[in-house]
């Protein structure tokens, strides 16, 4: 379900967080993905989850 390309994944995840999910936990549960793996893949391109903004920045 998640794009393989890290930049496309970032865009997809941030859009979903902005428009559909109140938290990263809710997104991961609904999309059946591992939160730690998602965070690791985005940290590889220097983006980290900001709980207050509910976005990867």
pLDDT value, residue 1: 80
Mean pLDDT (the chain, rounded): 97
Predicted local distance difference test score (pLDDT) of residue 5 = 97
CB contact at 8 A, 21 and 56: no
pLDDT tens sequence across 7-34: 999 999 999 999 999 999 999 999 999 9
- 0.85 surpassed by pTM: yes
Six-digit token string for 39: 């965070």
Q: CA 29, CA 32: separation in Å to the nearest integer? A: 5
Contact between residue 29 and residue 36 where contact means Cβ atoms under 8 Å apart? no
**Phi first, then psi: what are they for 43, rounded to 5°?**
-65, -30
Name which residue leads in pLDDT, 1 or 52: 52
């Amino acid at each position: 379900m998640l794009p393989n390309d890290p930049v496309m994944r970032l865009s997809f995840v941030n859009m979903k967080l902005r428009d559909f999910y109140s938290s990263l936990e809710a997104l991961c549960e609904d999309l059946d993905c591992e939160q730690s793996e998602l965070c690791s893949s985005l940290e590889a391109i220097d983006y980290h989850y900001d709980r207050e903004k509910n976005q990867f920045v």
